[in-house]
Amino acid sequence: MSGKPTVGEYMTRDVETVSPEDTVSSVAKRMVETAGHKGFPVTQGRTVEGFVSAGDLLLADDDAPVFTVMSENLIVAHPDMKVTDAARVILRSGIQKLPVVDDADNLVGIISNTDVVRSQIERATPGKVGKLMRTLEQIHGVELDEERREVRLDDLTPTQARVYADELEGRQYELDRGLAEPLVVIDNDGVLHLADGHHRVMAAHEMGTERMDAYVIVTRTPVDLGMAKTAEKEGLESIGDIEVVDYARHPLVETTKRLQ
């Protein structure tokens, strides 16, 4: 991703909305039944008329129409707006989600504080990929290409023998909320070596996920990778060979607990 990320790149396009005529009780029921929703844009057609939050519904009459309790003083974002600017608005206004409208004031998406966090996490990965590519080029003198694609977890050859069970919980939390970084994989003549993301892979595997998003570094000619030798030495052929350590804490978790 080049330049600063925009709202349009990270917003959710499939937006749950309610009508101004919907009753308070029906909207409250949808909030309870729809995971992660504490508010909805109120729309007439594609036009945003307001926003209704859980707080707006608390003391309202069950049969009251939403337009009588919704907030009409709207703060919205535009798809071309920088995510950092949207983050400032979210922080200063205390609003967790901003409706995103186009030049015609039509609703095209919604961006949340979660999307903002995700944009910052994912931006760290291309730098990691670039550093790995430069290292491989210097060591092996080989030309490389970079692709962004989904990979099958069953096709991956791990290069790390063990992961920590306590870390998997955090990774599953990230995966549930779309916060996980893409994996980093090296495609060496069709063999997919997992270079970064072993905890993410194991967390996804436990959740029943079969494919994950990845930055894939492709070697134009086969090379003798050091990580491939490590995998062979450790007897690692598939993610099923990774040991999940449940008798010790991840070093980061251990340090954090000690500081607390």
Distance from C-alpha of 217 to C-alpha of 182, rounded to nearest angstrom? 13
- pLDDT, tens digit, for every residue of 147-191? 999 999 999 999 999 998 888 888 888 888 777 889 999 999 999
- pLDDT, tens digit, for every residue of 196-239? 999 999 999 999 999 999 999 999 999 999 999 999 999 999 99
pLDDT band, residue 258 (cuts 50/70/90)? very low
What percent of the chain is modeled with pLDDT above 90? Answer: 67
- Read off the pTM: 0.66
The CA-atom distances, in angstroms, between 184 and each of 21, 66, 90, 124, 233 are 48, 46, 31, 12, 21
Token pair listed for 95: 């609003």
Quickly count: other Cβ atoms within 10 Å of residue 59's Cβ: 8
Residues 6+ apart with CB under 8 A from 53: 38, 39, 71
- pLDDT, tens digit, for every residue of 8-25? 988 988 899 999 999 999
pLDDT above 60 for 252: no
